[in-house]
A and B are shown apart, each in its own frame.
Chain A
């Protein structure tokens, strides 16, 4: 059973069309949830860390939220430069498990 599931696999948005990406998990004893952005052919870039349910973090057009079972990455009024793959990763115990990612394409 997958411990981390990201949905949708791919998302196409028009510029300015707000939406959310989902990261759901089944592990217990969560010690942190991380969001990363990855551009094609490059390494993932760290965005946020969330530690407890109810926590929120914001950066420019991105806002990450966390509940006991899932995290959302909200993208408000996206621009073409927001196009990338967004990865979430969970830390439990001393393990770090990545999801498969959501590929986001924003068209102008």
Chain B
């Protein structure tokens, strides 16, 4: 596989569920990102990991919990979400922190 792969592509969950989004990059990049994309809004940066260390956490609610076990994998753990959290969650990677981003296809999350 090449590029950035995200799973699952679609996820429907209740407000009391716990689920995780997974991202894997095959580009040998050093930085990985989670973005939230809601309708008619700019991409919102959620978390950044550079060399497996978290370097940004943009006031994201604690119901979102990231995990970066190595430079190729990134997870976003979800629990007790709200309906307004429904969005497209995009993972990206870049060679260096804040460089050219390469995105995955996204995970479409619906919270009922």
Q: Which A positions have Cβ atoms within 8 angstroms of B?
A: 4, 34, 36, 41-46, 49, 87, 89, 91, 94-101
Contact = CB atoms under 8 A, between A and B. Distances in A.
Interface residues of B, number: 21
B101 A46 contact: yes
B100 A34 contact: yes
Interface of B: 4, 6, 40-43, 45, 88, 90, 92, 97-106, 108
Contacts of A45: 103
A101 B98 CA distance: 19
B104 A43 contact: yes
Given A96-B45, A98-B43, A100-B42, A43 B98 contact: no
- Chain A binding surface SS class: strand
A32 to B, nearest CB: 8
A103 to B, nearest CB: 9
Contacts of A97: 42
B106 A91 contact: no
A4 B41 CA distance: 12
A43 B42 contact: no
B102 A41 contact: no
A40 to B, nearest CB: 10
Given A43-B4, A43-B90, A44-B90, A96 B106 contact: no
Given A43-B4, A43-B90, A100-B41, A91 B98 contact: yes
A49 B40 CA distance: 24
A25 to B, nearest CB: 13
A46 B40 contact: no
10 contacts: A34-B100, A36-B101, A36-B103, A41-B88, A43-B103, A45-B103, A46-B102, A89-B101, A91-B98, A99-B42
B27 to A, nearest CB: 12
A45 B40 CA distance: 18
Given A96-B45, A96-B98, A96-B101, A43 B106 contact: yes
A46 B4 CA distance: 13
